[in-house]
Amino acid sequence: MLLKKLAITTRTAVLLLANLSLLHSAALAQTIPSLRDTFKKDFGIGTALNNAQINETNPQTTAFIARQFNMATPENIMKSALIHPGWDTYDFEMADKLIAFGKKHDIKINGHTLIWHSQLPAFIRGIHSKDSIQTFFTNHIKTVASRYDGKVFSWDVVNEALNEDGTMRKSVFLQYLGDDFVTEAFRLAQQAAPKTELYYNDYNNEQPKKRAGCIDLIRKIKAAGVRIDGVGIQGHWHVGRIPLKDIEESILQYAALGVKVMFTELDIEVLPRNFQGADVGQRMTANAQSNPYPTALPDSVQTQLAADYEALFKLFLKHKDKITRVTFWGVNDGDSWLNNWPIRGRTSYPLLFDRKDQPKPAFYKVIATVK
């Protein structure tokens, strides 16, 4: 009897302590500066959101997101494979939840993405005619963009249509619809979503050759009398190797075309990789050196990461008149896609918050860039 009582008391004490520690970290989260408030006069601060975050499975996470970010991009749920799984079937459940999430927490949503060669619905593989690809392309843009017009703030209308040398990527859209598919996607989006900003989004498009291809695309869209409001530079970079000069040159050149400039998927990889960019089709084989920091990031790398983020944000602030948004690709290190790409199951540290939402040195450096 006494033993049973003791066990119950111990369990209660453990639960109480766990709750206290939850309360403690929740209270701590409220004391750290807010990114969205810090940069509110400069540009929007965004994050990518996954299913659990959109479903608000953890109230502390929800409060944390609402305090730190005023813009959000769905990491996966608006991609065509998920939102348009069958020829005549759409699944709007998660996207609708995301819209409600944005409304509730005063967070603007960037739709991602209407036309992308990756994460296409499985039925596309069985299509081998121009007519059918054209029908999918038109129906998809019309249906999805019109449903969310006025509900999302903006769309990444076309994502990653370019190769590294600035030529057009050989996607199913290029193959069947030809070079003009990008302009046509914007034309359809403009008709379906007159109240929504329309963007072209890519990675490595700060690099000179790819940038030149991107500039050609933007000029072509404009020359056709079609609306394009902005260009997204994804910003998947590597620690100690941030191409600041190319980034600055790109901000200037894109802004000179009369479009808004955004950094749309920012993260800084700290793990070894033998190529640059974010081509999800590219993979690496694991070896003994590929996961060097399974338990913690060494101070030297942490310091370099903080210096890189500081330099980036100084540059962003220098050009704040041209930049409208900076979005991180994930809320904290534990959420990042870089834990599973280009090798599965690594431990990466690419963001401003650690796996417990605690600010890293990089966070404080970023906050301190605002005078």
One symbol per residue from 320 to 359: x for binding ligand G3I (CB under 6 A), - otherwise; what is it?
-----------------x----------------------
Beta-carbon contacts of residue 37 (< 8 Å; ≥ 6 apart)? none
Q: Which of 226, 218, 228, 203 is nearest to 253 (CA)?
A: 218
Task: Please report how close the Cβ of residue 57 comes to ligand G3I at its closest, in angstroms.
Answer: 15
Identify which of residues 190 and 264 has a Cβ nearer to ligand G3I in the complex: 264
CB of 278 to ligand G3I, least distance (A): 4
Q: Rule CB under 6 A: is residue 119 a binding residue for ligand G3I?
A: yes
CA angle 213–160–186, rounded 5-degree value: 80
Complex with ligand G3I: residue 309 or 337, whichever CB lies closer = 337
160 is catalytic: yes
Give the shortest CB-9-to-ligand G3I separation in angstroms.
41
Cβ neighbours for 61, distance < 8 A, ≥ 6 positions apart: 52, 53, 331, 357
Give Cα separations from 187 to 79, 116, 307 (angstroms): 19, 16, 42
Mark whether 75 is an active-site residue: no
Query: HSE of 74 in the Cβ direction (CA atoms, 13 Å)?
Result: 31
Residue ranges in 52-81 that form contacts with ligand G3I under rule CB under 6 A: 75-76
The answer to whether 254 and 231 are in contact (CB under 8 A) is: yes
The encoded tokens of residue 288 equal 């003994």
75, 265, 269, 310: the catalytic one is 265
Among 280, 301, 307, 311, the residue binding ligand G3I under the rule CB under 6 A is 280
Considering the rule CB under 6 A, would residue 12 count as an interface residue with ligand G3I? no
> CB burial class (10 A; 0-12, 13-18, 19+) of residue 333?
buried
**Contacts with ligand G3I in 120-179 (CB under 6 A)?**
159
The residue of the chain with the least Cβ separation from ligand G3I equals 337
The tokens describing 133, both together, are 């690809």
Catalytic residue among 75, 160, 184, 310: 160
- Report cis status (omega within 30 of 0) of the bond before 113: yes
Q: State the burial class of residue 90 (Cβ atoms within 10 Å of its Cβ: 0-12, 13-18, 19+).
A: middle
- Which positions from 210 through 239 interact with ligand G3I, judged by CB under 6 A? 234
Encoded tokens for 75: 């990491």
118 binds ligand G3I (CB under 6 A): yes
Q: How far is the CB of 170 from ligand G3I (least distance, A)?
A: 18
Q: Which of 231, 278, 297, 312 binds ligand G3I (CB under 6 A)?
A: 278
User: d(Cα 38, Cα 15) in Å, to the nearest integer?
Assistant: 36
Nearer to ligand G3I, 159 or 250 (CB): 159
* Interface with ligand G3I, residue 95, by CB under 6 A: no
**Smallest distance, Å, CB 256 to ligand G3I?**
25
Site residues (CB under 6 A) for ligand G3I? 75-76, 118-119, 159, 203, 234, 265, 278, 280, 337
